[in-house]
């Protein structure tokens, strides 16, 4: 979906370094989500936000942090506390009512140097 932009497409992290993944949407969606996908695995929820200045932990929030200062933006920081960060990270957004699909960005592939 052209309305959700993730950057960068590829990212490399050094030991002890924090890195931030960008996610921007112009769909006027209230809800935004971050997922982690490991090879051959499903999507695991890291964090989600249903309104500006509020967010909730998902199933694997440890070692990650987020902010939601603007409706359009939901950046994800992978901190040095995340010891196994190599994965494909997907951002999604949806209308904040029940029974609505999530629309995904193109993803960011993060690797350790």
Partner 1 sequence: GENVEQHPSTLSVQEGDSAVIKCTYSDSASNYFPWYKQELGKRPQLIIDIRSNVGEKKDQRIAVTLNKTAKHFSLHITETQPEDSAVYFCAADPPPGKLIFGQGTTLQVKP
Residues of this chain that interact with partner 1 (CB under 8 A) are 1, 31, 33, 40-45, 48, 50, 58, 88, 90, 96, 98-107
Which value, in Å, is the radius of gyration of the alpha carbons in the chain?
13
Instruction: Please report how close the Cβ of residue 18 comes to partner 1 at its closest, in angstroms.
Output: 25
Query: Which of 17/56 has CB closer to partner 1?
Result: 56
Provide the edge-to-edge strand list for the sheet that holds 19-25.
4-7, 19-25, 76-78, 64-66
Question: How many Cβ atoms sit within 10 Å of the Cβ of residue 85?
Answer: 20
**Residue 105: strand, helix, or coil:** coil
Instruction: Please report how close the Cβ of residue 48 comes to partner 1 at its closest, in angstroms.
Output: 6
Instruction: Please report how close the Cβ of residue 77 comes to partner 1 at its closest, in angstroms.
Output: 20
Query: Which of 30/80 has CB closer to partner 1?
Result: 30
């Amino acid at each position: 979906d052209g309305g959700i932009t993730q950057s960068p497409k590829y990212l490399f992290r050094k030991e002890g370094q924090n890195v931030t993944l960008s996610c921007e949407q112009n769909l006027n969606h209230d809800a935004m989500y971050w997922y982690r996908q490991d090879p051959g695995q499903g999507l695991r929820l890291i964090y989600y936000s249903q309104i500006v200045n509020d967010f909730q932990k998902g199933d694997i929030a440890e070692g990650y942090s987020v902010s939601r200062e603007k409706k359009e933006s939901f950046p994800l920081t992978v901190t040095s506390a995340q010891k196994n960060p190599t994965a494909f990270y997907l951002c999604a957004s949806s209308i904040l009512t029940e029974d609505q699909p999530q629309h995904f960005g193109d993803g960011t592939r993060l690797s350790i140097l």
